[in-house]
Chain A
Amino acid sequence: MRYVMRKLLQGLLLVLGVTLVSFALMVWFGPDQTYTLVGKNASAQQIEEVRRELGYHEPFAQRYADYLRELFTLDLGASNSSGERVSSIIGRTLPVTLALVLPGFVLGNLAGIALALAAAHYRGRWPDRLISLLSIAGMSISFLIVIIVFQVLLSTPYGLNLFPVRGWQVTDFTSYLRYVTVPTLALIFVTLGYNTRFYRAVFVEEAGREHIRAARAFGAPPAVILWKHVLKNSMLPILTRVMFSIPMVVVSGSLLIESYFGIPGVGKVTFDAITSGDQPVLKAVVGLTAIAFVFIQVLTDLLYRAVDPRVAR
């Protein structure tokens, strides 16, 4: 318990640091939303009125203190662009994003692990070379191109025309599958290369250790070696990668997918907030992401202990 409390205290300092730096960046380097809100033919007086309405005239310290208060009371205010409450926006968009990216995220990691195990097992031989080659090819192709190609191939009359090009009219599991399949395939395609390369490196390192050689000497079959000895002993880096990817995948990984597939998720909302300078939305996303990181860090540490008892010692 003391360990958790210590981690949470460290996390609090992390949240303060992240919010301070990001808020400073928003205020001093982010877009000034005044000029997108004033409309045509604004007078200097109207510009000043909007600036005051946005709170830009307040001192930085005051604004940052307001930010922390909003974050810790979860009273996140309203979007400067639409007037909608930020809590409503996040409540509306986060479940959509999770439903959108989770299948691709899970399958992308599982497939990456499977391919990486195969590559590690056949290290230096043609399966390893083929997997490495395909991984590099996958990493080299722009996400945007992948999305467009998948759309054209799977969702238009130029291709198979099996799925909707875009949208998110999910009412049941069948409609969910219709809308999530192409984005998921695109996500898997893009992440698979990175995942496979990373996990391969981990497994190759693990496979070269003494206990693996000992297992081989004892005559353990390759499947047992890979599954029981290599994979199990690689769980710490796998956990680290998976856990710390979650906030990034939710916030930034879904941006292009949401834009191109017309899915009303949190990534698109965040991107719009960044480009328009909608500070209430941006502050909430940054702050909540930092808090999520803290909790994930604590959770990851606890999971470390569960999968590797040596950590607890």
Chain B
Amino acid sequence: MDGAPSTLDPAHASNIYASFLVVNLYDTLYRYKYLSRPYELTPNLATSMPQVSEDGLIYTIHLKPGVRFADDPAFSGGKGREVLAADFVYSIKRQFDPATRAQGAWLWQGRIVGLDEWKEDGSDYDKVIPGLRALDDHTVQIQLIAPFPQLTHTLAQASSAVVPREAVDYYGKEFPVHPVGSGPYRLSRFDSAGAVLLRNPQFRQEPFDLAAEGFDPKTQSRYGLQTLQGRVPPFADRIEVEFIAEDAARWNAFIAGETDFVKVPVSQFDQVLASREPPLLRKDLASRFHMAANLESGFVHTDFNMDDPRIGYNPDPAREHRNKALRCAIIKAFDWRQRNEVFYYGIGQVFPGIIPPITPEFDPDQDDSPIRRDVAAARKLLEENGWTAENLPTLEYGFPASVTERQMFEQLRSFLGDIGYPPEKVRPLTFATYGDYARAYLNREVMMATTGWTMDYPDAENTMQLFFGPNASPGSNVANYDNPEFNRLYRATSTMPRTPERTAMFREMNRTVIDDCATISGISRTLILLWRRDFAMLPDRAFVGGYFFRFAGIPTGPEEEPGR
């Protein structure tokens, strides 16, 4: 992996690295089908999809009986006990206990009857929450304050994984490095360099069913997955995960055969790809490796701080109007083709607005003029609104100190130079660490901030909330964007299931953000994944994430001929 998790506690599993391991050590009620694209939910610890009341407020979920936590000294006699509905209730409560320092509470905050009050009343685990109850040993009932159609998606997140209270009490503060779950693997080693997972011998016997996992013979037959049909996952006895943040070291380890799967560093794309459109693997590598070119489940965007009167909202309507023109001119000056070419090998997907291509709500036919560079139009906008080299505000562009970030800043400065923005008026605001940078932009101290959002579930609601007014910093709305019409539509859609009507509303919201020129957006990066041909698997960095470890195996039959 190209990064390391600092803990393996589901309560802290808000990044991709932690999620990758957590979903293998613990069970979630739901997960995404291994092979189905678009992504589709399927029961995991639950017996079936939830029974939802007609008003969409009450979810009843049955757990599989007989599922056991892995043996651990935390349990009486060291033998893992059965996973019960009460464990799920406890695990969600932990997210709301300040002592846990949990990172997943936002998924359910203000959603479940009595949960926020439980926290305000002191997080007493013995107190019953009306909206989060174990009806019996194997039945969970969740009562919502208002319909929340994405609830089942949140129950496929690593944050919702089920932990046993005995283990949390037994290990105390060290629980995050002593995971005790009911997932397909157990932890053997975990440190700053890597982790070793061993097959959990007590994991439930559920034969692999290609059809149930959404297998598409047309596109997926080359991976040898058919040979795994009927076998019981997890297929690997041992998985060694190396945390290698350094691109060169990660690539060298893969080429030397020390690792079997790698997310290829962008710096190696030209050594790996024979063509870009579509991305094809070089022939000599194709005989040894499989490749997947996956669009990331998220996007990168540069937000204007709308709370900053120099560039965003301003009490003076005339200045506010001019600020908007300035932002729009900057967006028109931005050359997405160059950005993509220089930093993403030209294979990222640039799109207008905030609905990434990976979501079903994405409109492939939308007007792409917002991402087309138009220097003349930008100059004209500045001129029409009275902006000159003398009165343009000094732009402060924030970023954590790194060579790539600095290069991106210099590229932006050069784009702006083309529309007459004096270079000395485009200033870098560097921060020693990402934490310092995050503190600055969450405290609204950065005029322009570039951030990436990794989606939690494949639903554009997850990116729409990034521009919802009440989510302003320190929430996820880094732009501090606050458009009443956008907010109204967000509120209206937040309780709606996925329908053409909701999709139309999302697209309208997308246009609003584009028209307001609140963000320079965006690009979804293409990730090149390589793995040895003698492994039958289909890795994924998006919503399936670490779940694919469960299904990674050695094929037992003849392989398909080399392909993409």
Q: Are B192 and A272 in contact (CB under 8 A)?
A: yes
Q: Which of A78, A79, A155, A262 is in CB contact (< 8 Å) with B193?
A: A262
Q: Does A50 contact B (CB under 8 A)?
A: yes
Contact of B476 among A41, A157, A260, A277 (CB under 8 A): A41
Which A residues, 266 to 306, have Cβ-Cβ distances below 8 Å to chain B? 268-269, 272, 275-277
A10 on interface, CB distance cutoff 8 Å? no
**Minimum Cβ distance to chain A for residue B264 (Å):** 15
Q: How far is the CA of A260 from the CA of B192 in the complex (A)?
A: 12
The interface residues of chain B lying within 8 Å CB-to-CB of A42 are 106, 442, 474-475
Complex: how many Å from CA A260 to CA B249?
6
Instruction: Point out residues on A near B: beta carbons under 8 Å.
Output: 31-44, 46-47, 49-50, 52-53, 78-79, 81-85, 88, 92-93, 148, 151-152, 155-158, 161, 164-168, 258-264, 268-269, 272, 275-277
**Alpha-carbon distance between A38 and B438 when the two chains are bound, in angstroms:** 11
Question: Are B253 and A50 in contact (CB-based, < 8 A)?
Answer: no
Judge whether B435 and A36 touch: CB under 8 Å.
yes
A88 to B194, CA, bound (A): 17
CA distance A41 to B475 in the complex (A): 4
The one of A35, A38, A167 in contact with B258, judged by C-beta atoms closer than 8 angstroms, is A167
B255 x A156 contact (CB < 8 A): yes
**Does residue B41 face the partner (Cβ distance < 8 Å to A)?**
no
Q: A residues within 8 A CB of B105?
A: 46
**Residue numbers in B under 8 Å from A81 (CB-CB):** 6-7
Contacts of A275 in B (CB 8 A): 432-433, 435
In whole angstroms, what is the CA distance A274 to B465 when docked?
33
- Which of B101, B177, B253, B439 makes the CB contact (< 8 A) with A84? B177
Shortest CB-to-CB span from B195 to chain A, Å, is: 11
Name B's A-contacting residues (CB within 8 A). 6-7, 9, 12, 14, 98-99, 101-106, 109, 173-177, 191-194, 242-246, 248-249, 252-253, 255-258, 432-436, 438-439, 442, 456, 465, 471, 474-476
How many Å from the CB of B110 to the closest CB on chain A?
10
Q: Is the CB of A31 within 8 A of B244?
A: no
Nearest neighbor of B439 in chain A, beta-carbon distance? A35
Cβ-defined contact, B244 with A39, below 8 A: no
Contact B6 A82, beta carbon cutoff 8 Å: yes
Which residues of A lie under 8 Å from residue B435 when comparing CB positions?
31-36, 275-277
B106 with A41: CB separation less than 8 A = yes
Cβ of B103: which chain A residues have Cβ within 8 Å of it? Answer: 37-40
Query: In the complex, what residues of A have CB within 8 A of residue B439's CB?
Result: 32, 34-35
The 8 closest A-B pairs by CB, nearest first: A39-B103, A264-B191, A39-B14, A81-B6, A264-B193, A41-B106, A35-B438, A41-B476
Q: Is the CB of A157 within 8 A of B255?
A: yes
Complex: A217 Cα to B193 Cα, angstroms: 59
Task: Flag if B433 contacts A39 (CB, 8 Å).
Answer: no
Contact B255 A92 (CB under 8 A): no
Q: How many residue pairs, one in A and one in B, have C-beta atoms under 8 Å apart? A: 152
Set of chain B residues within 8 Å of A259, measured between Cβ atoms:
245-246, 249
Q: Which residue of A lies closest to B432 (CB)?
A: A31
Residues of B within 8 Å of A263, CB to CB, are: 193
Given contacts A156-B255, A166-B244, A275-B433, contact A262 B249 (CB under 8 A): yes
Task: Return B460 CB to nearest CB of chain A, in Å.
Answer: 16
Bound form: Cα–Cα A35–B465 in Å: 20
28 examples of A-B residue contacts, CB within 8 angstroms = A31-B435, A39-B106, A40-B103, A41-B476, A42-B475, A43-B109, A43-B474, A44-B474, A47-B442, A47-B474, A83-B9, A83-B176, A84-B174, A84-B177, A93-B192, A148-B252, A151-B249, A151-B252, A152-B252, A156-B252, A157-B256, A166-B244, A166-B252, A167-B194, A260-B249, A262-B194, A269-B192, A277-B435
A287–B549 Cα gap in the complex (Å)?
41
Determine the chain B residues whose CB is within 8 A of the CB of A155 once the complex forms: 252, 256
Which of chain A's residues has its CB closest to B11's CB?
A39
Contact B101 A37 (CB under 8 A): yes
User: What residues on A are CB-neighbors of B252 within 8 Å?
Assistant: 148, 151-152, 155-156, 165-166
In the complex, what distance in Å separates the CA atom of A235 from the CA atom of B436? 46
Q: Which of B98, B456, B474 contacts A53 (CB 8 A)?
A: B98
Contacts of A82 in B (CB 8 A): 6-7, 176-177
- Cα A201 to Cα B398 in complex, Å, equals 47
| A152 partner residues in chain B, CB cutoff 8 A | 252
A40 & B476 in contact (Cβ 8 Å cutoff): yes
A277: B residues at CB distance < 8 A: 433, 435
Report A29 CB to chain B, min CB distance, Å: 9
The interface residues of chain A lying within 8 Å CB-to-CB of B9 are 83
**CA–CA, A260 and B253, complex, Å:** 10
Contacts of B106 in A (CB 8 A): 39-43
B98: nearest residue on chain A (CB-CB)? A49
Of the listed residues A38, A148, A161, A165, the one surrounded by the most CB atoms of chain B closer than 10 A to its CB is: A165
Chain A residues with CB below 8 A from B175, complex form? 83
- Report the separation of the CA atoms of residues A32 and B440 in the bound assembly, to the nearest whole angstrom: 10
A36-B435, A46-B105, A92-B191 given as contacts; is B7 within 8 A of A83 (CB)? yes
- Contact status B442-A35, CB under 8 Å: yes
- Minimal Cβ-Cβ distance residue in A for B7: A82
Q: Using Cβ atoms and an 8 Å threshold, which residues of chain B touch A49?
A: 98, 101
Question: By the criterion CB–CB under 8 Å, are A43 and B475 in contact?
Answer: yes
Q: How far is the CA of A259 from the CA of B256 in the complex (A)?
A: 18
Residues of A within 8 A of B194 (CB): 167, 262, 264
Q: Which residues of B contact A40 (CB under 8 A)?
A: 14, 103, 106, 456, 476
B255 CB contacts on chain A under 8 angstroms? 156-158
Is the CB–CB distance between B258 and A166 below 8 Å? yes
Cα A259 to Cα B442 with chains together (Å): 30
